[in-house]
Amino acid sequence: MVKISVLVPFYNSALFIKPCIDSVLKQTFKNFELILLNDGSTDNSEEIVMQYHDKRIKYYKNEKNMGIPISHNILLDYAEGEYAAVLDSDNICLPERLQKQAEFLDNHPDVTVVGSWGELFNDLKEEGIWLKIKKMIVNMGWIWRQPYEVSLQETLRGNTCMHSSMMIRLADFKNKNIRYNPDFAVAEDYDLLRQILTNGLKIRNIQEVLFKYRLFGANISITKKKLMRECDAKVKADIVKFLNIRNYHRYPYFLIIARKLRLKWLLKWIKL
């Protein structure tokens, strides 16, 4: 039986899909299936995928672009593993990601989702002085640190488990009927955390970097800021209602950044 299903949806990801796939195939943990879902790409992403002949790779294709939440639900339905590791196509896993997260879930049967820290990077060719400066800043070694124990109160402040770091105990999702919600098209991962926590399930984060997050100008968080703010506000409103908070004051985003983002060389002096 397959232990882990690695779920990767992609759309026009020709620049990213090869390093993403390679990072999965280089894992120290070998008992996995890699499920790739082409969400109606119009570039040569499919050509790149078809160059691989690894039996662990399963390739599917949507007839048209369905969007991120629906594609993730399709992948969950395809998954045959005990655990599902989520990975966005523009990010990459470090070699021990699957092994360490599977061991964590094996040793913590009461935990539904385990995430990790992520390192920001940008390896794309950038044109223009300001983009080059931004790229240089991104590549200084910034680590996004998530808390070990995730609470609904902390999640109300902001996302507490990076999407590409999540490994899910699939049986818990099926038992609670947890799915990605298309109504939160660019904040579906944030709403997913809300669903998990309001169902009484546990989320933990391994306190080390197990994946790398590619930060560049075409990230959805940058290109669709207005829609993301609206979806983010909807998730927060649902959490406020669930917690029965009467006087809610939005937590400033710059404080979230200040609490969670650190340079690699500073981590040894930071008390977690």
Enumerate the H helices of 52-185 as residue ranges. 68-78, 97-107, 129-138, 152-157, 170-176
Q: How is the chain split among helix, strand and coil, in percent rounded to 5?
A: 40, 20, 35
Judged by phi (left if over 0) then psi (alpha if -120 to 50, else beta), residue 45 lies in alpha
Residue 17 has pLDDT above 80, yes or no: yes
Model confidence at 218, pLDDT cuts 50, 70, 90, reads low
Residue 42 has pLDDT above 50, yes or no: yes
- Side-chain half-sphere of 267: how many Cα atoms within 13 Å? 17
Total structural domains within the chain: 1
Domain with residue 160: its CATH number is 3.90.550.10
Tally the residues of the chain: 272
d(CA 267, CA 224): 31
Specify the pTM: 0.93
- The amino acid sitting at 27 is Q
Q: Which own/partner contact pairs does 233-236 have at CB distance under 8 Å and 24+ positions apart?
A: 234/183, 234/184, 234/187, 234/191, 235/184, 235/187, 235/190, 235/191, 235/194, 236/156
Nearest to 30 by CA among 3, 67, 58, 65: 3
Residue 185 has pLDDT above 60, yes or no: yes
Residue 272 has pLDDT above 50, yes or no: no
Residue 38 has pLDDT above 60, yes or no: yes
Average pLDDT, the chain: 93
Tens of pLDDT, residue by residue over 72-102, are: 999 999 999 999 999 999 999 999 999 999 9
d(CA 168, CA 7): 11
d(CA 68, CA 186): 8
Contact yes or no for 92/6 (Cβ under 8 A): no
Pairing of strands 202-214, 111-121: parallel
Judged by phi (left if over 0) then psi (alpha if -120 to 50, else beta), residue 200 lies in left
Instruction: Provide the domain limits for residue 199.
Output: 4-269
Tens of pLDDT, residue by residue over 52-78, are: 999 999 999 999 999 999 999 999 999
For residue 223, give the H/E element and its range. Answer: helix 220-223
Q: So what's the pLDDT on residue 228?
A: 86
d(CA 56, CA 153): 39
